[in-house]
Structure 1
Amino acid sequence: MTFTRHTLRRSAIAALALTALTFATRQHAAPDPAARFPTKPVRIVVPVAPGGSADKLTRTLAEKLAVLWGQSVVVENVAGASGTIGAAKVAKAAPDGYTLLQQGEGITLNSILFRDLPYDTNKSFTPVIKAVVSPQILVVHPGTGIKSLHDYIARAKAQPESISLGLPGNGGIAHVAHEILSQETGAKVNYIPYPGGGPATVDVLAGHTNATLITLAAVTEYVRAGRLRALAVTTSYRSPALPDVPTVAEAGKLPGFSVESWQGYFAPAGTPPDIVAKINRDIQAVLKTPEVRAQLEAQGFKVAGGSPADLATSLQSEHPRYAQAIKAAGLSLR
């Protein structure tokens, strides 16, 4: 075969075209790091003891995310110091999306209550999603003889500190909510802090403490079974999970009383935005499945969702209110 200059030229052009096509194909097929995420197990740090509402929520999501991602999702309980030990652990983790922090309004409360933290609340974390919102609920052991919020307030005023109230975390949202109640009614109780909702619930079930104010989802099953008596929820609305339980505003004749807690997820600061966005989308996808939504709503949660920016805005808006309540109560943690 005789190669002319024209033939060689056409061959060269064809070769260049093939090379360009191959390169473009490879570029198009090159996997986006965010699209491939995760390629190894993901760890979610829950900064309270097992058994409480935060733990239940996270384990529900972890199970479904593991199926969606095809990777293990490990829930690690790191309790202590009102959640700051677990938060500090995540703050120091690699910002790659493989270590997440479960937190709620406690992340704001701790920034107000603690003089020195092992992390900078405003700079150490990247908001991912507000997953759910929920009332706090005041429950008592049936053996106390307290049958209503009116009874509870009356006893706490007539016999100050005679009621022992287990707190799922010193300085947490339950503590702040009860302080607001105390400021408005004059009721005084004996606060007993626990490292989480699970241990606090166990002791009131056993009668070692008289009451607890806790996220509704942590005790719904015990109220339904009659093992705990529910007095009121802290939100402005009743919970569909326990529709017969009145609000504090209703039962205590305290118009405008409202405290709503939430649970969400954070990543270490510096985590790539596309990774944060993917985790947000995938958690929302799990929350929207009928099975998970029904399961969470039956426990007393209300699915929230929204973008990372929505969570950041929520953090900014709640800080002034809680700071005012904490200052009025004279609360501080070292």
Structure 2
Amino acid sequence: MPTKRFFLRSLASALALTLGGAALHFSVLHAATTTAPSFPNKPVRIIVPVAAGGSADKLTRTLAERLSVLWGQSVVVENIAGASGTIGAAKVAKAAPDGYTLLQQGEGLTLNGILFRALPYDTNKSFTPIVKAVVSPQVLVVNPGTGLNTLADYLARAKAQPESISLALPGNGGIAHVAHEILAQETGAKVNYIPYPGGGPAAVDVIAGHANATLITLAAVTEYVRAGRLRALAVTTAYRSPALPQVPTVAEAAQLPGFSVESWQGYFAPVGTPQAVVQKINRDINLVLQSPEIRAQLEAQGFKVAGGTSADLAKSLQAEQPLYAHAIKTAGLALR
């Protein structure tokens, strides 16, 4: 289907350009000598709008621990799950614009703005971008007891026995949902989608056998795959992940040239937050991300460090909005 493949190639190109820009900006950011504001002088709260245990939670807790040391203040991670992340996002949108309440979000911020008819905030106007922290593949994993050993096995069963495979979704309408819908449209596979409040609960239920599979950010399940508790069938990016190099791409395993979906995770502040505070948070998160120990730790989990300026993240948001809108329309996902 040429239209979908054009979207996927365009998305990969747009994100590659964004990440390239982020890399160019980092050396300047790292060397900046701007006087930092007197921030923070009290605890900082980062709201993660999904349940604990998933990739977003793991990333944020890793950063929070290091930022606490750097700032000499507690950095508290608060999980507020529900409504595909919109409840947590709404809480940040209504918070004081002073840098003490931050939001962890990724492409879900854009997707929710497309999928929901009404939101308790304005996706384009309620938040100030701070930094795109990491990018990551999505990975399709199954319970080893399913007998599904390859993506070809998975697709064959999903076509021969429609909806016989239960797929735990880490959020309804998220990047995993969109990616799987594109895969389904390309191959004719039909599964039974079961929404979960986040990647952690979804992975746990697949391990326990309550669901057969999940499509999830790779960093959320690398340890489970290495331990043999989950079987990885394919990653959604055009490249294999160094964290699990034996796992093929969807493009390889399903013979779908051009298939590529890459997710990302970053941080936002309420609109109106002073630019000096935004710049300080951006600079310090970049410092943490670029430390050899943290970079190695995140890459071992399956993340790829991005970094860059707040302007880089703003450009990325602008680039992905029309592309995801096209993908959602093509996949037939209904507005809620």
**What TM-score, normalized by structure 1, do the two folds share?**
0.89
Indicate which of 64, 86, 89 corresponds to 1:87: 89
Q: Describe how 1:42-81 pairs up with structure 2 within 5 A.
A: 42-81=44-83
Counterpart secondary structure, 2:37:
helix
1:167 aligns with 2:169: yes
Q: Which amino acid aligns with 1:327?
A: K
Q: Which amino acid aligns with 1:211?
A: A
Rounded to whole Å, the distance in 1 between the matches of 2:335 and 2:222 is 30
> Rg: which structure is higher?
1
TM-fit CA distance, 1:331: 1.6
Rounded to whole Å, the distance in 2 between the matches of 1:250 and 1:47 is 33
2:6 aligned partner? none
User: Structure 1 residue runs of 4+, over 4 Å off?
Assistant: none
Rounded to whole Å, the distance in 2 between the matches of 1:333 and 1:99 is 29
2:280 aligned partner? 278
RMSD value, Cα: 1.0
1:244 aligned partner? 246
Rounded to whole Å, the distance in 2 between the matches of 1:301 and 1:330 is 30
Indicate which of 105, 118, 121 corresponds to 1:119: 121
Contact 1:171 1:333 in 2 (8 A): no
Counterpart secondary structure, 2:46:
strand
Q: Per-residue CA shift, 1:159-208, capped at 9, x if unaligned? A: 11000000000000000000010111111100000000010011000011
Q: Which amino acid aligns with 2:187?
A: T
TM-fit CA distance, 1:34: 4.2
Counterpart secondary structure, 1:187:
coil
Rounded to whole Å, the distance in 1 between the matches of 2:335 and 2:45 is 28
Rounded to whole Å, the distance in 2 between the matches of 1:330 and 1:213 is 19
TM-fit CA distance, 1:33: 8.9
Instruction: Compare relative contact order (CA 8 Å, sep 6+) and give the higher one, 1 or 2.
Output: 2
TM-fit CA distance, 1:271: 0.5
Q: Per-residue CA shift, 1:133-154, capped at 9, x if unaligned? A: 0000000001110010011111
Q: Which amino acid aligns with 1:135?
A: P
Q: Describe how 1:137-286 pairs up with structure 2 within 5 A.
A: 137-286=139-288
Counterpart secondary structure, 1:71:
coil
2:8 aligned partner? none
1:136 aligned partner? 138
Indicate which of 323, 331, 334 corresponds to 2:333: 331
**What TM-score, normalized by structure 2, do the two folds share?**
0.89
Q: Identify if the C-alpha distance between structure 1 residues 332 and 178 changes in structure 2 by more than 3 Å, giving closer, same or farther.
A: same
Rounded to whole Å, the distance in 2 between the matches of 1:149 and 1:328 is 23
2:21 aligned partner? none
